[in-house]
Chain A
Amino acid sequence: MKIRAIALNTFKEAIRDRILYLLLFFAALCIILSRILALLTIGDRAKIIMDVGLASLSLFGVLMAILIGTGLVYKEIDKRTLYTLLAKPIQRYQFLLGKYLGLLLTLFVMLVLMTLVFLVLILLHRYPIEGAFFLAILFVFVELCLITAVALLFSCFSTPILSTLFSLSFYLIGHLSWGLETLINKLPQGGIKTLARILYLFLPNLENFNFKTEVVHHLSIPPKIFLYSSLYGIFYTVFILALAVMVFRRRDFI
C-alpha cells in the first residue's frame, strides 16, 4: 500500500517532465523517417521500417529511463522532500521500490504511446504484423526494467550527470559485450582465459533482449531462448535492485 502511494506520486511527477515529451517526439520522428528511408532503398521496405522502428523504441525508451531515473532519487535529496517522507512510518526499501515502480509505470505508458505511433505507420501501409513483433516490444520493456534499476542504483550515491554517464556505459557495454565471446574463444588456454570468462559472466549482456532480427526476418523464437532471456532479465534486475537497497539503507541524508 505504502509502496503504491509512493509509486503513484512518482508517476505523477515523472509524467510532467518535459524531457519525456521531447524524446517521445524524436522517437515518433525516427519511426516516421524510417518510412522515408525505406522509400530510398531497394529491397524489402517492411524490413527497414521494422528494423529502424524497433531500434528507435529501444533507444528512446532507454534514454527516457536513464534521464528520468538518474534524477529521481537525487531530486528528492536535493530538494529535501525526502526528509519528511522518510520520517513517515515507511522503510527505506519501500521508498526505493515505490520510486522504481512509479518510473516503470511511466516508461510503460511511454512505450505504449511509441508503439501506437509505430502501429499506425505499419497499418497504414498494410504490412503484416506477427506475434513476434509484440514479443520484441515486451523485451524492450524487460530491458527498460533493468536499465531503470541501474539508473536508480547509481542515483543512490552520485549526481545525475555522473549517474547518466555510468548508466549509458552500462547500456553500451551491455550491447557490445557479446563481441567479447569471440575474443575469449581465440585466447590461449590458461589463467587469462578463465579470468576473461568470469568477467564476461558478470558483464551485462543486453543482446539477450534484442529480438529485432527475428522479427525482421520472420524467424521463429525458440521457447528456450525466450525463457532464458526472461529469467536473465528478472535475476539481473533483482540483483541490481538489491544492491541499490543496500546502498540506500545505510546512507546519511545530510
Chain B
Amino acid sequence: MDTVLRIENIHKSFKAGFIPKRKKILDGISLEVNGGEIFGYLGPNGAGKTTTLKCVLGLIFPDKGKIQIFGHSNLSLQAKEKIGFLPENPYFYDYLTATEFLSFYSDLTLVKKENKQAQIENLLQLVGLNQAADLQLRKFSRGMLQRIGLAQALINDPSLVFLDEPLGGLDPLGRKEIRDVIIRLKEEGKTVFLSSHILQDIEMICDRVAILVSGKIINQGALQDLISEKVKVTEITLSGVKTEDCKDLGDCYSAQEGRIFLKVFEEEKIATVIQLVQTKKGKIHSLIPRTETLEDLFVGAVKQR
C-alpha cells in the first residue's frame, strides 16, 4: 500500500485577542494515510482538526512542516486535481440551483464537457438529491447542504476525499446514508480522510485513526491495535436476589421493580453471579459484556491532559 497523504511535523499558531498573542493550535502533527483506507481524524472540539485540514487544502499556511499529496506538494494543481473536500457546516452560493452549482464547480476541474451532465446526475443520485436538482440552494435544509457538499467534493472523481465532520447536524437516518456513501467510496478504491468529534458513527467504518488533543496526536494506528478485545465490564440486570448478596461481586445499583443492575469487572465472577441467581430462584433479565470502545480511549486521553 502506498502513502497518499503525508503530513510531516506541521506547526501552526494564530494571533488572537486585543493585544495579539500567539496561540499555538497545531504542535507538530505528523501522519500518513495509505491508499484505499478510511482514516479517522478524531478529537474533541477545538483540538485542531479543522485547522489541520485547512493546512492540507492550502487555505492556510503552516508555520513549519511539509505536506505531500500523492507525492506532490499540497499546493500544486496535480495534487488538487486528485482530491475533494467537504468543509464543516458547508455553505454555498445560495442563488444557484443544485445542478447549476455542480456545473459551475465542474468547470473548475478537468471533467470533460460531454461527461458533465451525466456525472452531475449520477452524483445527485448518489447523495439522494435527485428530487432537488432544480431547487435553489437557499431552500436547502442543513442535511441537504451536507449532501450537496459531499456531491461537490466528488465532482472531479477524486482519489482522496477529505470530509470535515461529515455526519455533523444530521439525523440518525441521514447519518446512516452518508456513512453508506463513505463505505461505497472505499469500495470504489478511494481513500477517505474524515474528521469527527463524535465517535459512535465513525469507529465502525475506520480502518485507522489518529487521536488529536490540543494540537498533538496522542495516539494513532489500526483500530484493533488501539482497542483491546478484552471484556472490560459485564453489565447484568437481575431480580429475586438481595442487594447485599451482590455487594462483593461488583458495583451494584438497585433499579426499578426490585431489579438490580450489576457491573461485574472480573470475568470469573460472572459464573458466581449466575450460580447465585439460580440458587435463589431469581431471574437474569440481561447480560451484556462491554469491550473497550474508542470512546473510552478518547475520554482517557483527554483526561490525562
Which A residues form the contact surface with B (CB < 8 A)? 1-2, 4-6, 8-9, 12-13, 16, 79-91, 250, 252-254
A16 to chain B, nearest CB (A): 6
* A2: chain B residues within 8 A (beta carbon): 107-108
Q: Inter-chain contact count A-B, CB under 8 Å?
A: 78
20 interchain pairs (CB within 8 A)? A1-B107, A2-B108, A5-B104, A6-B108, A9-B93, A13-B93, A80-B89, A80-B91, A81-B91, A83-B54, A84-B86, A84-B87, A84-B92, A84-B153, A87-B80, A87-B83, A89-B81, A89-B109, A90-B108, A254-B54
Closest residue of chain A to B106 (Cβ to Cβ) is A5
Closest residue of chain B to A253 (Cβ to Cβ) is B59
Report yes or no: A12 in contact with B59, Cβ–Cβ below 8 A. Answer: no
**Interface size grouping (class) on chain B:** 20 to 34
Report yes or no: A89 in contact with B54, Cβ–Cβ below 8 A. Answer: no
In-complex Cβ contact of A81 among B14, B77, B92 (8 A): B92
A253 to chain B, nearest CB (A): 5
In-complex Cβ contact of B60 among A16, A80, A253 (8 A): A253
Going nearest first, the 8 A-B pairs with the smallest beta carbon separation are A5-B107, A87-B85, A252-B60, A89-B80, A88-B108, A89-B81, A253-B59, A83-B87
* B70: chain A residues within 8 A (beta carbon): none
Report yes or no: B108 in contact with A5, Cβ–Cβ below 8 A. Answer: yes
* A81: chain B residues within 8 A (beta carbon): 91-93
Report yes or no: B110 in contact with A86, Cβ–Cβ below 8 A. Answer: no
Does B159 make an interface contact (CB < 8 A)? no
Report yes or no: A85 in contact with B108, Cβ–Cβ below 8 A. Answer: yes
Decide: A84 near B90, CB < 8 A? Known: A9-B104, A89-B156, A252-B60. yes
Q: Convert B72-114 into 0s and 1s, putting 1 for each residue whose CB lies closer than 8 angstroms to a CB of A.
A: 0000010011011111011111011000000011011110000
Decide: A252 near B80, CB < 8 A? Known: A13-B95, A81-B93. no
Does B61 make an interface contact (CB < 8 A)? yes
- Assembly CA distance A13 to B104 (angstroms): 13
* A89: chain B residues within 8 A (beta carbon): 77, 80-81, 108-110, 156
In-complex Cβ contact of A254 among B14, B58, B91 (8 A): B14
Report yes or no: A84 in contact with B93, Cβ–Cβ below 8 A. Answer: no
- Assembly CA distance A5 to B83 (angstroms): 20
- Assembly CA distance A95 to B80 (angstroms): 15
Q: Convert B145-169 into 0s and 1s, putting 1 for each residue whose CB lies closer than 8 angstroms to a CB of A.
A: 0000100110010000000000000
Report yes or no: A16 in contact with B95, Cβ–Cβ below 8 A. Answer: yes
Q: Convert B119-143 into 0s and 1s, putting 1 for each residue whose CB lies closer than 8 angstroms to a CB of A.
A: 0000000000000000000000000
In-complex Cβ contact of A250 among B61, B90, B104 (8 A): B61
Report yes or no: A86 in contact with B58, Cβ–Cβ below 8 A. Answer: yes
Decide: A84 near B149, CB < 8 A? Known: A2-B108, A9-B104, A89-B110. yes
* A82: chain B residues within 8 A (beta carbon): 59
B15 to chain A, nearest CB (A): 10
Within 8 A of A (CB), among B50-75: 54, 57-61
Decide: A252 near B59, CB < 8 A? Known: A81-B93, A83-B87, A84-B87. yes
* B156: chain A residues within 8 A (beta carbon): 88-89
